[in-house]
Chain A
Amino acid sequence: MAASRDDLLIAIRSAFLKKSTQQKFSLLTLVLISAFTILLSSLDFRIIKILKSSINEVVYRSSFVVSIPENFLKNTFIEISDYTTFFYDYKSNKDELSQLRSKNISSEITQNENKELKELINDYVSSSDKILAKIIVDHESPFLKSIIINKGSKDNIKIGTNIYDQSYLVGRVIEVNFKTSRVLLLSDLNSNVPVTIAPQNIQAIITGSEDNLGKIKYIKEGLSDNFTEESIVYTSGTGAIFKSGVPIGKLTKLKDESKTNFNVEFYSDFSQLKYVFAEVITKTEIENLDDTNSKNTNPIDAKIKILEDEKEIIEDSNLKFKEENDLLKVKVNELNNQILNLNSKLSDQKEKIDQFNIDKDELEYLRLNLIYSHKCQTRKLFSTGYKIGTPEYKECILNKGKKIND
């Protein structure tokens, strides 16, 4: 028993410490170095960051070169599968294009309005430049879904920079090197995006999942009952991590055994990305009125400035009122003319109606006259009728032959 324990110990010691003839380091040394490296990488030391960044630069480039044959195979496979659905795609794209063209105009108007409103709310104007970046490494690891782009701190890319495929959100930068950056895709489990689900206007958080769909999290129970497959998901801008109003995807129904679940189908296909856009935002502060006033040291000057401003505002508003007044006068005249026209039309129509009524009465009288004339007119001696043309005769006719005395 003791001998077997000794053998085990010898074997373990040998495994850890004994160097073979070719080996330069014992395994124990390497284990310790690994553990030390893990420890250092978990700490945010500047030197470690620089070292890591330079390793990244070299490894990403090497990885790009090494991946060329596999990428070629992959692209060929994708191209072949694309050709098989070419015609169907063409037709659906054509339809979609015509729809999008019509939507584009209203979208531009909304964008401009949105920009104006944001300027009012945020106190700063954000001007953004979208830089085209090439994906140099896109090995979708089963554990971490990320891509490497060929833009880094040299191109003003920062941690958190939003990355787009056309106008759809793809992810954000989580690691920046000098000439490369790592982008965490929306489909990764560690990705959390604050979103708005429209048209229901529900706020939620979208996280990645194993099946490349977004999962809706942190919404009140029952709110999901309002979801439909036409609901769209876009960034809400909460937390200022992502820009607001960027489309992400649409809801898709997943029928479970017990209930219906909604997941987000991303607009962008992350497995087929070749180029992406990195949005570099520069914020320009709007000069605050209070700040400029505080710069005026003399209070009288400040007062004069305020009064001048006030005067200017009153003059402006007066001008506006005057213009409005003129416009209203023109409108009143137009309306008066319209009323006159309508009145004349009305009197014409009244006359016509009266004439029509008279004609109608006359016709009725003539019709009755044909039927009851023998009853009402006087013919021979002892007859009780009336003379034709007299009012009594007319009344008799209108009373359908009944005489006044009857």
Chain B
Amino acid sequence: MEPDVNIIYNVFHAPPLEFPIAIYFYLTGLSAGSFLLSTLAYGFGLKKFKPIGLLGVRMAIVLLILAPINLIVDLEQPMRFWHLFPYLNMKSPITYGTFLLSLYPLNAIIYSYFMGKGNMKMTKIFGFIGIPLAISVHGYTGFILALSKARALWNTALMPVLFLISAMVSGIAMMMIAIAIKQKYFAEDKHVHDDLIKDMGQILSVTIFFDLFLILCDLLVLQTADTEAHHSAMLILTGDFSLLFLWIEVVLGSLIPLIFLNIPAFKKKIGFAVTAAVLVMIGILAMRYVMVIGGQSIPLS
């Protein structure tokens, strides 16, 4: 039997990564997702996605300018952020981010410039340059968590993939909401984009399925790995973060949207698709919170 252990005195230091980091992950995810969606029309030539091309890349730029502000505000020495360039350490995942967060918005601005000008050839070139950038700008955030090996919830090779897929999920959902607002308030014909929203809903439900599958993989392995991993699995299944994880992320953010997007009775109505998109966005925000804050709630010392 395990002996009773009672820790009378110990020292703990404040959790290093706070809410701004979760918000940063959320915003880059949205940005990468909406950029990739915009290249569907202009990079891959899928005509029906043309209306979201320009809107997608503009949102990607705005979000990716907002996202690093969270990072700089979170620094203890915000005025020293330039140290990241001259004193870089190539082994650190934050260094990957330094370059990606500089190159990706630049590329997106050039891409949107040519798109606005109607120069299809250059748009396609910069779209294709942007795809690996968008994938890595969010994939690297997964590496930030995965490579800090102190925490069992983070230290998994699934993390970059999980972050990428959840970026796609939240990015598509945000574009659905954006298009719905656009047609409701800024278009002559109030139903001009109905089919587009339904199509995006179909892509969304596929990505949600994939996201749920990855979460399942992650949880099953966490459950059967070492003690710490088991503790963190129980933390999000039955512990302090179970409401956020099980109910908000999985049920509200994934299962209910799947019902809305796939049951024929709901499928016909645009309202349900947009509601599903809103729920998905809430669910992914909860996922970022559970990952960043939940991961640190297990004491290390």
> Is B truly associated with A?
no
Question: Which residues of B are in contact with A by a Cβ distance under 8 Å?
Answer: none
Question: Which residues of A are in contact with B by a Cβ distance under 8 Å?
Answer: none
